[in-house]
Structure 1
């Protein structure tokens, strides 16, 4: 598909998702919350979010190390931020992960299939911990009775069985990655902890009081929706999840949308760093 057509479709889907969201939530109320945000909490939120990206780059190093590929943390971090910039701001056809794979292939001549596998497993490892947190919070009695068509205690049981199967398959077919799984899973826990802390800072900025768990569960669930590359940087997909889930979990919809938009702002500001890094250091993929 033509890259400009893909970008146009992303814009259309993002706009449609935001339109559907703000049909249910009053924009003026959300805008009032955003304009009254306490700026003193935005800086720590930004710092915690970027710390999570540093931890993500650290996790990816272990997967590359399993391939006996050692680009060094600084180069890997540069590639990570440049990938974020590609994902959010450039209408290119390869995306952030594709850019990293292309760069490492040109520089280190590793097979593309192996680089793709390492990058994909890095993503899956992050989703594993994300799913674990969702299951733990959802199974804690937060979900209203009757929302699930099965008892809530089945969630952690099904998750545990799924993880055992995943680990067994990884050990059987991709043993080199199985060896780094314990460390990368711990780092994934750090990544999610830092992002949840950033979310708490954003809720403080918006003067959201009361139970935090409903908003954190909505954030974790929206992170899975944001992974699907149908919108620009997850914008619109996150807001739809917040809008649909807020009434079910007892969260205030306008507050939920406002904190979601603030999180997108964190992502956008952080991703801009990838553009400056690219301009400053040039593209050495051909070296």
Structure 2
């Protein structure tokens, strides 16, 4: 099977998973109720949710450019922001086209003759460490609220101490392997991880403002945050996270006896916010961004 065919089949599979899960969820809930919940959203809180999502994406662009600079690819931050927004548009709205990351690599190679393999490696590391940050926050939530998994896995509380001890070891081993395989220095790994944790915290704040916008008053915010982070991890098996996010919020609401319609609305609103910001990248689709290198001070 040639790579192009394999990529097309994988894309079809992801879109199929997204559509199937989306249909499954919205078949089980009251769609009219969800629409009414959305129409009753507090626009002030929703605006803050959008703001913190935008902040998370700006920081995310800085994270990638940090990796570029640490490997002597001195792309200017303005150019990097343009590429990042273009990549968001491609990832969300162009399922049949070139992926956002691949197109960014193509443009960098075209403009600066940077080796595609090296740039793609950095983009992959950026994603990988981002997932590591999500794992770290999930770990902390489970450490403080073991009942989350205790209600899903029999006798999990008996193994919670082992879980707390083993995770930092796994993190260190992962850092060592990243250095060996991808030649990422320890300082670069933890600096990128710090960026990633801040990004996820900004998105968590965004989710909290979404719950406030929906009028949710509960001490169980950690459940919504936990499910949101899980959906970020499992989004790799769906297209742009669509479907999987709503499905996990629905399953969480059923398991913990929360309002199903409201929980699904949280996931749907986050997807809509992502789409809203991503669509601005269409400008650079029609007018390809002019990319520049960072000017050296004193030159």
TM-score by length of 2: 0.86
Q: CA deviation at 1:146?
A: 4.8
Equivalent position of 1:190 in the other structure: 198
Alpha carbons of 1:249 and 1:84: their partners in 2 closer, same or farther (altered >3 Å)? same
1:56 has 2:65 as partner: no
- The equivalent residue for 1:258 is 265
- Gaps of at least 5 residues in structure 1 are none
Moved more, 38-47 or 169-178: 169-178
Cα shift readout 1:236-282 (whole Å, capped 9, x = no counterpart): 01111111222334533221100111001110000011112443x43
Give distance in 1, aligned partners of 2:95 and 2:148.
39
Distance 1:185 1:8 in 2: 32
RMSD: 2.2
Alpha-carbon spacing, 1:250–1:72, altered in 2? closer, same or farther (3 Å): farther
Aligned to 2:160, the other structure's residue is in SS state coil
CA distance in 2, matches of 1:5, 1:236: 19
Write the distance in 2 (CA, Å) between the matches of 1:208 and 1:155: 31
Does residue 208 of structure 2 align to residue 204 of structure 1?
no
In 2: Cα distance, 1:124 partner to 1:55 partner: 16
Q: Please say which of residues 153-162 and 56-65 is displaced more in the overlay.
A: 153-162
> Bigger CA drift: 144-153 or 202-211?
144-153
How many residue pairs align between the two structures? Answer: 282
Q: Which residue of 1 aligns with 2:106?
A: 102
Structure 2 counterpart of 1:219? 228
1-structure distance, mates of 2:168, 2:149? 23
| Alignment partner of 1:126 is 2:130 | yes
1:186 Cα deviation from its structure 2 partner:
1.2
Match of 1:282 in 2: 288
**1:14 offset after TM fit, Å?**
2.2
Query: Counterparts of 1:44 and 1:277 in 2: how far apart (Å)?
Result: 26
Q: Which deviations, in whole Å up to 9, do the C-alpha atoms of 1:144-183 show, x marking residues without a partner?
A: 6352254233333332222111111223343344331222
Change (3 A) 1:5 1:130: closer
CA 1:242–1:226: 2 relative to 1, 3 Å: same
Q: More displaced, 22-31 or 141-150?
A: 141-150
**Residue range with higher mean Cα deviation, 43-52 or 22-31:** 22-31
